Amino acid sequence: MLIDPRFHELAAGLTGFSIDLKKNERVLIDAFDVPDEMVVALVRAARRLGAHPFVNIHRARISRELISGVEESSYGAHAAVEKQRMEMMDAYIALRGSDNIFESSDLEAEQVKLASRLMKPVLNHRVNKTKWVVLRWPTSAMAQQAAMSTEAFEDFYFRVCTLDYKRMIPGMKVLADLMKKTDRVHIKGPGTDLQFSIKGIGAKECGGERNIPDGEVFSCPVKTSVNGVIQYNAPTVYLGSSFDHIRLVFKNGKIVEATSNNTKRLNEILDSDAGARYIGEFAIGFNPHIKEPMRDILFDEKIAGSFHFTPGQAYADISNGNNSQVHWDMVCIQRPEYGGGEIWFDGKLIRKDGMFVPKSLDKLNPDYLLGKKR
């Protein structure tokens, strides 16, 4: 089989660097509308490392059909099978392509909520008990979202996904150490004046080991500490629905007001369970190749000069104890062309208009990450 050399380069990075596959480990390759050639490249890369690959092929229209008639008795059995398989795995790679990002947009909210609830134990085990990495796959639909030609988007995709992520390590460590010592966070910007604490929560670097593309350091607010208002300026798609201009108001950690161009659906999702109106993640993004939102969260949450503030489930290792079937990364970009903004830690200015201010964090600014500053 003739395979694009870029596929082999990406597969080698995913199996070798991202999940660090070892001999005799089992890895599940979850392929969503992805070319067979890329799946073959991953199988071969895993075998070269002495690992045992398993493959699951998904098609969006089939997945939509399964959820459209979801019943707890039948879909519960499906979820049980998936959980048992996941429990047998040491590692997990998901490649998620899509010919239509709105394929699930006409599903009933209750159907999606039921399917999400039943599959939550599978997700929890994968996130907390395996080595995993998740990435998108470039399609014509994604090129349209990015307002690029298919060829130009593919070039962009492979440039971003094969970035030398090791270059991020020094700056990420400094930022994570600073976040671990921080109590009060204050974020300012157009329509945004938000305060919360991250004291005692911790922080974690993300440089190509969980998501591709990558480039963020995340923490989590103390659950009841969030107060103020945030106006997100990046569009987002969640559970097959599109949202723009999301604005959230917080009181003692809880979202007490939520509006957008799709306010009714926004509040339906935030009412999924008790934890959906509390925040499960606060993260700062700095991938120098990603500048503009394209309604694809694995790219958008890494935008240079952005942060995301996430309603719903907290990660087990960096947690405020919040539990939810929702984990919705909503993004705000603070570069000047998006209105600017500031992030303060304990009264000290950390980032202004998307650029890190302290000299110790200069290695996370675009010039250094792109090799223009030594």
150 plus 196 within the same structural domain: no
Q: Is residue 374 part of a domain?
A: no
Chain segment 21-66, per-residue pLDDT in tens: 999 999 999 999 999 999 999 999 999 999 999 999 999 889 888 8
Please state the pTM of the whole predicted model.
Answer: 0.78
Pairing of strands 342-345, 348-352: antiparallel
Q: Is the pLDDT of residue 372 over 80?
A: no
Nearest to 197 by CA among 279, 303, 304, 314: 279
Report the pLDDT value the prediction gives residue 145, as an integer from 0 to 100: 81
30 plus 92 within the same structural domain: yes
Q: Is residue 37 part of a domain?
A: yes
Q: Is residue 64 part of a domain?
A: yes
Domain of residue 298: give its range: 165-369
In this structure, which amino acid lies at residue 155?
D
What token pair was written down for 32?
């969503």
339 plus 195 within the same structural domain: yes
Q: Is residue 13 part of a domain?
A: yes
Pairing of strands 342-345, 227-231: unpaired
Q: Is residue 154 part of a domain?
A: yes
Ordered DSSP codes for 204-231: EEESSSSEES--EEEE---TT--EEEEE
Q: How much of the chain, in percent, has pLDDT values that exceed 70?
A: 99
CATH number at residue 20: 3.40.1830.10
288 plus 334 within the same structural domain: yes
Q: Is residue 319 part of a domain?
A: yes
Chain segment 164-204, per-residue pLDDT in tens: 888 899 999 999 999 999 999 999 999 999 999 999 999 99
Q: What is the 3-state secondary structure (H, E, C) of 65-118?
A: HHHHCCCHHHHHHHHHHHHHHHHCCCEEEEEECCCCCCCCCCCCHHHHHHHHHH
Q: Is residue 239 part of a domain?
A: yes
In this structure, which amino acid lies at residue 346?
D
147 plus 227 within the same structural domain: no
325 plus 357 within the same structural domain: yes
Number of neighbouring beta carbons within 10 Å of residue 130: 18
- Domain boundary at 161, 189, 204, which? 161
84 plus 118 within the same structural domain: yes
Q: How much of the chain, in percent, has pLDDT values that exceed 90?
A: 70
150 plus 189 within the same structural domain: no
- Angle of CA points 50, 53, 55, to nearest 5°: 170
The CA distance from 165 to 185, in Å, is 27
> Is residue 212 within 8 Å of residue 18, measured between CB atoms?
yes
Q: What is the 3-state secondary structure (H, E, C) of 294-349?
A: CCCHHHHCCECCEEEEEEECCECCECCCCCCCCECCCEEECCHHHCCCEEEECCEE
274 plus 250 within the same structural domain: yes
Nearest to 175 by CA among 45, 359, 374: 359
Chain segment 78-118, per-residue pLDDT in tens: 899 999 999 999 999 999 988 887 888 888 888 888 888 89
Chain segment 274-318, per-residue pLDDT in tens: 999 999 999 999 999 999 998 888 899 999 999 999 999 999 889
106 plus 199 within the same structural domain: no
234 plus 365 within the same structural domain: yes
Q: Is residue 220 part of a domain?
A: yes
- Domain boundary at 110, 139, 161, which? 161
**Which residue(s) pair with 332 in the sheet?**
307
294 plus 147 within the same structural domain: no
The CA distance from 350 to 369, in Å, is 18
**Structural domain count of the chain:** 2
- Domain boundary at 161, 176, 196, which? 161
